[in-house]
Amino acid sequence: MFILTFAFAGHAFGECGESDKKALEAFDRAWGDAGVKGDRNALLTIYADDYMGMPALQDKTQTIETTMAAFERGKLNPQTVDKLTHDNYLITCTPVSAVITHRNVVTTKNGTGGNAETFWTRSVHFLEKRGGKWQVVGNAGNSLDESAILGYMELDWNTADRNKDMSWFERNFAADYSSISSRTAKIATKAEDLAEMKTDKSVTEWNALSNMNIRIDGNTAVVTGVVHSKGRDDKNQLFDRRVSFTDTFIKRDGRWQVWATQGTRIPQ
């Protein structure tokens, strides 16, 4: 049995407003675009002269040359270029330093038989503001283990709930999924929950996870935690709920799926 307490929240070490975080996310995305486009001049300003990347311990020059070589290979064989997207940003900062963490979703066609495959990694970037401009001074990355994949899946679930993204639930709820409602104690199947979601008039404006614990045994996993949600119900009345949950996952066809979920309302 494998037990891991999974924490997504970074350590706050200074003032960092939402506008600062948006600017840093935009900086990170522009950095990614510069690599995709092979924009050497942009990369020269983005990386600090004393930059160091891990785990390969590449300096600024080596990192840029590696990026440019990958760009040139992609120009010759564009059909083999991986599709890369970034999400689940976590950003902390002070006026002169910042840490950016995000998930990378990589879709490649280099798998067996040329079929598209998707895998996930995580990046941690260290930045300093020098001469009034942000520069990357350090970078680290790692592939996601099963616990991290499940943790991010819980975050994706929260996002899908806020956005009423039915496709996420249709794709990630197992065929034999079941749920127990934290509000009505009703037991429901996948079809019943999806039907209720489609007619639900409530709006979740904000939600966040805490106290997550992930346990994995073979192809099954249990995630417990607390979800705090705010929004408006189907009568347009404000709600503020905390629910302790137990989510059970099963791995089928090479991917984790939600097998069962149960919630218990925490009294105010």
pLDDT per position as a tens digit, 33-45: 999 999 999 999 9
Would you state the pLDDT for residue 40? Answer: 97
Q: Mapping DSSP to helix (H, G, I), strand (E, B) and coil, where does residue 131 land?
A: coil
* 3: in domain: no
Query: Residues 155, 185: one domain?
Result: yes
Taking the mean position of all CA atoms in its chain, how far away is CA 80? Answer: 25
In degrees and rounded to multiples of 5, residue 51 shows phi and psi of: -60, 145
Same domain, 170 and 118: no
- pLDDT of residue 1 exceeding 50: no
pLDDT classification of 10: cutoffs 50, 70, 90: very low
Q: State yes or no: pLDDT of 155 exceeds 70.
A: yes
Q: Give one word for 113, left, alpha or beta, with left for phi > 0 and alpha for psi -120 to 50.
A: left
Q: Are residues 134 and 166 in the same domain?
A: no
Beta pairing, strands 47-53 & 133-143 = parallel
Q: Per the domain annotation, does 2 fall within a domain?
A: no
The domain total for the chain is 2
CATH number at 175 reads: 3.10.450.50
Task: Give percent above pLDDT 70 in the chain.
Answer: 92
Mean pLDDT of the chain: 91
Q: Say if residue 7's pLDDT is above 50.
A: no
Residues in the chain, total: 268
Q: Same structural domain for residues 118 and 165? A: no
- Whole-number pLDDT of residue 261: 98
Q: What is the mean pLDDT of residues 106-117?
A: 69
C-alpha–C-alpha distance, residues 67 and 48, integer Å: 16
Q: Are residues 192 and 100 in the same domain?
A: no
pLDDT at 109: 72
* CA angle at 205 for the pair 200 and 206, rounded to the nearest 5°: 125
In a domain, 4, yes or no: no
Based on its alpha-carbon atoms, the radius of gyration of the chain, rounded to whole angstroms, reads: 21
Q: Looking at the structure, tell me whether residues 59 and 79 fall in a common domain.
A: yes
Same domain membership, residue 128 and residue 232 = no
- Nearest CA among 20, 171, 168 for reference residue 93: 20
**Residue 14's pLDDT band (cuts 50, 70, 90):** low
Same domain for 173 and 135, yes or no, is no
pLDDT at 113: 54
CA angle 24, 28, 29 (to 5 degrees): 120
Examine the fold and report which residue of 143, 174, 208 is the final residue of a domain before the chain moves on: 143
- Quick check: is 111 in a domain? yes
Rounded CA-CA distance 132/134 in Å is 7
Which runs of consecutive H residues, i.e. helices, occur in the chain? 18-37, 40-46, 60-76, 146-163, 166-172, 190-199
DSSP 117-141: EEEEEEEEEEEEEETTEEEEEEEEE
Q: Kindly state whether residue 6 falls inside one of the protein's structural domains.
A: no
Same domain (yes/no): 123, 95: yes
Distance CA 9, CA 16 (A): 14
The gap from C-alpha 147 to its chain's centroid, in whole angstroms, comes to 13
Residues 132 and 16 in one domain: yes
Name the domain boundary from 143, 177, 211: 143
Collapsing DSSP to helix, strand or coil, 31 comes out as helix
What are the C-alpha distances in Å from 9 to residues 21, 99, 189, 208?
Answer: 14, 12, 32, 10
Total Cβ atoms within 10 A of residue 15: 9
Provide the 10 A C-beta neighbour count for residue 268.
6
Tokens 């280099």 found at: 110
pLDDT at 198: 94
Range of the domain at 204: 146-265
